[in-house]
Homo-oligomer: A and B are copies of this chain.
Amino acid sequence: MNIKYTRVVDKLPSLVPFVGPEAQERSMEKIFNARIGANESVFGPSLKAISAMEKEINHTWKYADPENYDLKLALANKHNVNFDNIIVGEGIDGLLGYLVRLLVEKGDNVVTTDGAYPTFNYHVEGFGGVLHKIPFKNDTEDLEKLLSKAKETSAKILYVSNPNNPMGTINSTLSIKKLIDNLPKKTLLCLDEAYADFVSLDLIPEISTNTPNVIRMRTFSKAYGMAGARVGYGIGAKELILNFEKIRNHFGMSRISQVGALASLEDFEFINNVVLKVRLSLEKIAKIAVYNNCRVLPSHTNFIAIDCCKDVDFAKRVLDNLILQGVFVRMPYSNPQNRCIRVTAGLDEDIKLFEQAFPIALKKSE
């Protein structure tokens, strides 16, 4: 080999953070009948977004506005913050990459929960950071231990998802505020709130944008039903947000996506309707789980963790069998969370397929 990669890249494994359902479909040589595994929103985008995207196709020969001006303005209004408290990027995935790049050098410490979002870990390792993982406590992120680990390691970033993925649980606003108050000054809290739109407002902490070491991440991939459009954003202190401008791919956004996201913000009824549909769907999934002698975790998201009440090998067999039956679901990575499978809210026909497949999967896994 002649080309010399950077020292960090040279040591990276060739692993990818996620395998997509399309790859599974290709290897099975069949299409999933129910796609309820990636916490996408099968309820789709707002009709206003759809109409705006349709119209914008004629303008896709133009680069998108690199400043994301209109979208940032609308988001600033929505969250009652200033324009320069908002950074828009290619999904939370893209923003997490930028954030890690801003802060993490080779050997820097980063703290997260064991079993939390793999793409965050992927970025940390991709920039040479050292991950410290704290186990879930009762299937909830253990803020106290996360904080002490951040202190102990002088972590550059502490990653907390709230509500969290893959368990669907939430930490109280009080505990989040306490965490922020006690954060080491050199640690940035990355609060991943991808699922915040499913949560009633009183469960979301108020955080002043004067707080220099907190960024909250939001997305159009979940409640807004636009995962394929790749629009995420961060809310944070002006100085932090400004630093993204130094490194981000200014022309990274799709023009159609930008316009779709903006239009969906103008559809005030939309989110309430989705949240209702999701709640009803999750109730049905929960009923099916309980009917089959499983338990469910309380969910504050658009998915639900079903505790199969046995060990990881059993849950893995259940998962594999569901996939074999054409039902795409996923499961947590960490132990003992991997006693569960994770099912995303679906349409009635998706849930019906799950209802048929689940008892078969349980039985075949015994």
We find that the number of chain A residues with CB closer than 8 angstroms to chain B is: 85
Q: How far is the CA of A344 from the CA of B119 in the complex (A)?
A: 40
User: CB-CB contacts of A133-159 with B at 8 A, as 1s and 0s?
Assistant: 000000000000000000000001000
- Is residue A342 within 8 Å, beta carbon to beta carbon, of the partner chain? no
Docked-complex contact B9 and A102, CB < 8 angstroms: yes
Determine which of B2, B57, B67, B185 lies in contact with A22 in the assembled complex, contact meaning CB atoms within 8 Å: B67
Determine which of B94, B213, B247, B251 lies in contact with A12 in the assembled complex, contact meaning CB atoms within 8 Å: B247
Given the contacts A20-B63, A61-B225, A66-B20, A230 and B245 also touching, CB distance less than 8 Å: no
Determine which of B16, B63, B221 lies in contact with A228 in the assembled complex, contact meaning CB atoms within 8 Å: B63
- Give the distance to chain B from A274, nearest Cβ to Cβ, in Å: 11
Number of copies: 2
- Considering only CB atoms, which chain B residue lies closest to A104 in the complex? B6
Given the contacts A63-B228, A246-B126, A93 and B251 also touching, CB distance less than 8 Å: yes
- Is residue A78 within 8 Å, beta carbon to beta carbon, of the partner chain? no
- Considering only CB atoms, which chain B residue lies closest to A59 in the complex? B228
- Is residue A268 within 8 Å, beta carbon to beta carbon, of the partner chain? no
- Is residue A175 within 8 Å, beta carbon to beta carbon, of the partner chain? no
Docked-complex contact B228 and A101, CB < 8 angstroms: no
Residues of B within 8 A of A265 (CB): none
Docked-complex contact A230 and B250, CB < 8 angstroms: no
- Is residue A208 within 8 Å, beta carbon to beta carbon, of the partner chain? no
Residues of B within 8 A of A126 (CB): 246-247
Determine which of B102, B213, B249 lies in contact with A94 in the assembled complex, contact meaning CB atoms within 8 Å: B249
Determine which of B2, B43, B252 lies in contact with A186 in the assembled complex, contact meaning CB atoms within 8 Å: B2
- Give the distance to chain B from A218, nearest Cβ to Cβ, in Å: 16
